[in-house]
Amino acid sequence: MRCGNSLVQPSSSNFYFSTGTDEHGKKIHDAANATGVSPENHCDVYSNRFMNLSKKFGIKYTGFTRTTSPKHIEAVNHFWTLLDGRGHIFKRSYEGWYSLVDECFYNDYEVVGHTTNDGKQIKVCLKRTFVNFLLKFLIAIETKTVVTKISEENYAFDLSQFYEQIRHWANQPDFTLEKAATLVNAYLVNDLGNLLQRSINPRLNPLKQYPIRTDINELLTHFDDETSKATAKQLIEKLETLPEIATEHYDNQNIHRVLDLLVELVQLANLFFQQCEPWKIINSQIKLDSVLFITYETVRLTAIYLQPATPDFADKLLSILGIPHAERTIEAARFLNPRTDSGTVGMEKNEAVFPRIALNK
């Protein structure tokens, strides 16, 4: 995430970002049988889909691990032996209501019985397909999936002694492709991408220059209405405090908090840009350049801190702004960071800064 003064994408030289596919269990076996292919072929298809999904969203990883790979099997055997030797694994008998779809057990109070003696049909999820049943069955209250009573003797891992270390991982946000696509389209494409695209419009910046400003107080004097000046001041304050806050979050692996900061920052920048109406002040070059400077600085700092999360998109933003690679570091991520020249901003005509994500239904 952070290597020296640089915010970098995953690589083996600084940290290891691993993702992959979990390829085991009765659910995999049943799904393969339903489509008439072997479990291995079934897993190959879905594993490739996830790899292609990462490329589509510009996600770069150090390693893509499949649980059926020889390397993973070797690693599991190693850690099992290690944990067993330390007394962390034990055998026990267990009985509970098991959902094949959810791959988990439920307690008695988490399931409810349904009967269709009254002739009513109950719609439940079975193998990810909603089916109408006219039978007596039990379902999990939360997920509405069918459960069956299972008794088994199996191995267990004692998590109680590691509670404090893993507590903060317990509540992970739900992830869906639709949600991810919505976030990308709303924040990257609409808010950030469109902000940059509007601000580099040749009508506003025909010379394709990155304006230079060196004094905040002087910069604020270029705004004569109180509304835009107040927003400019608020935006500048956030830009000044961004490096310290964002760097601390990255050091603590709180990536989502950095992204929340950047979303808030870009939304405020869009408000500022709209309030200033730069297309109406083309004849006032000093004020126009000040609007463009604050806008470009917002995009520049945002892009620098986006590098670990969306390296391809961040690289494109910084390249459009004409930011040299040597000036894409944490050290350079400061508002009013001195530049040797005004640089050249711009991109090819009719090119979107970031294409919208369209999911095939």
For residue range 32-76, what is the model confidence (pLDDT) as tens digits? 999 999 999 999 999 999 988 888 877 778 889 999 999 999 999
In a domain, 361, yes or no: no
Same domain, 57 and 67: yes
Q: What pLDDT shows up at residue 124?
A: 46
Tens digits of per-residue pLDDT, 272-330?
A: 999 999 999 999 999 999 999 999 999 999 999 988 877 888 898 999 999 998 899 88
243 and 117 housed in the same domain: no
With the C-alpha atoms ordered 127, 128, 133, 135, is the resulting torsion angle positive or negative? positive
How far apart CA 302 and CA 304 sit, in angstroms, is 6
CATH of the domain at 182: 1.10.730.10
**41 and 24, same structural domain?**
yes
Q: Same domain for 96 and 71?
A: no
Tell me what pLDDT residue 127 has: 46
With respect to residue 354, please indicate whether it lies within any of the assigned structural domains: no
The residue range of the domain holding 230 is 177-332
- Structure tokens belonging to residue 314: 């961040």
**Any idea which of 94-98, 160-164, 186-190, 331-335 has the lowest mean pLDDT?**
160-164
Regarding whether 102 and 32 lie in a shared domain, the answer is no
Domain count, the chain: 3
Is the dihedral angle over the CA atoms 271, 276, 278, 280 positive or is it negative?
A: positive
Residue 274 lies in a domain: yes
| pLDDT tens figures, 198-218 | 999 999 999 999 998 889 999
Backbone torsion region of residue 36, taken as left when φ is above 0, otherwise alpha when ψ lies between -120 and 50, otherwise beta: left
Per-residue pLDDT band for 174 (boundaries 50, 70, 90) equals low
Residues 7 and 74 in one domain: yes
Query: Does residue 321 sit within a domain?
Result: yes
- pTM (predicted TM-score): 0.60
CA 25 to chain centre: 28
Q: Are residues 205 and 301 in the same domain?
A: yes
Residues 34 and 69 both lie in one domain:
yes
Q: Are residues 188 and 286 in the same domain?
A: yes
Instruction: State the DSSP string of 208-274.
Output: -B------HHHHHTT--SHHHHHHHHHHHHHHHHHHHHHHHHHHTT-HHHHHHHHHHHHHHHHHHHH
